[in-house]
Amino acid sequence: MKFNPADKIQDLQYFGEFGGVNPSISDSSTYTFLSAKTMFDTFEGNADGCYLYSRHTSPSNLYLGEALAAMEGTETANVAASGMGAITPVLLQLCEAGDHIVSSRTIYGGTYAFLKNFTPKMNIQTSFVDITKLDVVEAAITEDTKVLYCESVSNPLLEVADIKGLSELAKKHNLKLVVDNTFSPLSISPVKLGADVVVHSLTKFINGSSDTVGGVVCGTQEFIDQLRNVNDGASMLLGSTMDSMRAASVLKNLRTLHIRMKQHSKNAMYLAKKFEADGLKTVYPGLTSHSSHELFKSMMNPEYGYGGMLTIDVGSLEKANELMELMQHKNLGYLAVSLGFYKTLFSAPGSSTSSEIPEEEQAEMGLSDGLIRFSIGLDNNIERTYEIMRECMIEIGVLSKEEVILV
């Protein structure tokens, strides 16, 4: 039977300490041992089921990690206090001084800044490439390369990575393929396509209520044990630990992810088709006009759709700002960064989430000034939302009444 991530989450049935339908929240930073010998073994990392100290792991974090590992089809997972708190230890664990990373050039601005400005201080260099061109990716690999890094669907340009193709390259050159799956939870299962490690910012769709930051690394038991190692594990030593209370609340939200993703995707598809028909330059992987539409289709778990993210280009930053302010005024959503919220969020990535990327590089990768990134919400009546959005576009002159594009 085909792998279905939502079934894997559903099949997990946890009981609380007192028979509660939710697992009990662990409210301790440290744990007692009945025998000193067990404490020693736990330090050595070989006493399963015993907890040492909550920066290492906690029962609540393990429940959430287990559910996310089930979702991604990995042996296990380690949750972190933020997406960056998951991504940065992975890269630092896999690379040491002198090593090299080949990364997609269209990735989240924070990850880009980490690879461009921070890791060179440790003599870890990164080549940024067009990830959609496998020959370009392969040409960038050197004998020092240890990691191939990409996002399944990239932020903010919605480029789609050929995970199977990249995984073949990774195997051929003995590299680890690390995939950030934040934009496409459930829709794409990177490990099933050959990725070695999957990371998420839980802050986005997985938590879905924009009330916390969080992250996760999904991988083999061996790799997660390395990250948590008390002597040289990057997760353990850099200390980006999720709080147990948060782990418990994210786990509850994860239980409704499949319903939410279907609605996000349905609404985004509806709007993308309408915007495109209106003549707006629209990018959405569900549109046949998207250069990687067929690739996404070949990789996806179809029932969850093409995700909730789309972009339109309204020609200039001024128009983008005007439109976003008006849409916010009409209660259509919020002018805010981030994604995966129940209300629609919009931002102009060039001046916000991707501002870490220098202007000339933005231009080269097609990140134009007038680009608006939408994270489409869970609106019940998306036809009504569209009508109001269209009125806003007409009001500021991005669309004319006759649906002829003016910019």
Ligand X SMILES: Cc1ncc(COP(=O)(O)O)c(C=O)c1O
Interface with ligand X, residue 308, by CB under 6 A: no
Interface with ligand X, residue 110, by CB under 6 A: yes
Run of H or E including 309: strand 309-313
Torsion angle of C-alpha atoms 374, 376, 381, 385, degrees rounded to 10:
-10
Size of the site for ligand X (CB under 6 A): 16
DSSP string, 372-390: EEEE----S-HHHHHHHHH
* Residue 216 vs 295, nearer CB to ligand X: 216
Interface with ligand X, residue 215, by CB under 6 A: yes
Q: How far apart are alpha carbons 198 and 217 in whole angstroms?
A: 6
Beta strands 333-335 and 371-375 are unpaired
The residue from 42, 103, 203, 301 that contacts ligand X (CB under 6 A) is 203
The angle that helices 382-396 and 317-329 make with each other, rounded to 10 degrees, is 130
The residue from 94, 148, 195, 213 that contacts ligand X (CB under 6 A) is 213
Q: How far is the CB of 199 from ligand X (least distance, A)?
A: 7
Interface with ligand X, residue 104, by CB under 6 A: no
Interface with ligand X, residue 82, by CB under 6 A: yes
Find the binding residues for ligand X in span 11-50 (CB under 6 A): none
Interface with ligand X, residue 88, by CB under 6 A: no
Beta strands 371-375 and 344-347 are antiparallel
Interface with ligand X, residue 201, by CB under 6 A: yes
Q: How far apart are alpha carbons 39 and 31 in whole angstroms?
A: 10
Interface with ligand X, residue 205, by CB under 6 A: no
* Residue 182 vs 362, nearer CB to ligand X: 182
The residue from 63, 108, 334, 341 that contacts ligand X (CB under 6 A) is 108
The residue from 9, 52, 84, 254 that contacts ligand X (CB under 6 A) is 84
Q: How far is the CB of 374 from ligand X (least distance, A)?
A: 14
* Residue 105 vs 319, nearer CB to ligand X: 105
* Residue 153 vs 396, nearer CB to ligand X: 153
DSSP string, 74-129: -SEEEEESSHHHHHHHHHHHH--TT-EEEEESSS-HHHHHIIIIIGGGGT-EEEEE
Q: How far apart are alpha carbons 85 and 278 in whole angstroms?
A: 41
Find the binding residues for ligand X in span 155-184 (CB under 6 A): 155, 180, 182-183
Q: How far is the CB of 33 from ligand X (least distance, A)?
A: 34
Find the binding residues for ligand X in span 309-368 (CB under 6 A): 338
Stretch near ligand X under the rule CB under 6 A, chosen from 81-89, 258-266, 377-385, 389-397: 81-89
Q: How far is the CB of 155 from ligand X (least distance, A)?
A: 4
* Residue 328 vs 338, nearer CB to ligand X: 338
Q: How far is the CB of 84 from ligand X (least distance, A)?
A: 4
Q: How far is the CB of 107 from ligand X (least distance, A)?
A: 7
Helix, strand or coil, per DSSP, at residue 25: coil
Interface with ligand X, residue 267, by CB under 6 A: no
Q: How far is the CB of 173 from ligand X (least distance, A)?
A: 24
* Residue 167 vs 201, nearer CB to ligand X: 201
DSSP 243: P
Q: Is residue 156 reached through a cis peptide bond, with omega within 30 degrees of 0 on the bond before it?
A: yes
Beta strands 125-129 and 333-335 are unpaired
Strand partners, 103: 128, 149
Give 299's contacts (C-beta < 8 A, 6+ positions apart).
Answer: 152, 160, 163, 164, 188, 193
* Residue 99 vs 151, nearer CB to ligand X: 151
Run of H or E including 134: helix 134-140
Nearest one of 11, 179, 167 to 91, comparing CA atoms = 179
**Which position's Cβ is nearest ligand X?**
83
Find the binding residues for ligand X in span 126-155 (CB under 6 A): 151, 155
Nearest one of 167, 206, 163 to 184, comparing CA atoms = 206
Q: How far is the CB of 228 from ligand X (least distance, A)?
A: 19
Q: CB–CB of 382/317 below 8 Å?
A: no
Q: Contact positions toward ligand X, by CB under 6 A? A: 82-84, 108, 110-111, 151, 155, 180, 182-183, 201, 203, 213, 215, 338
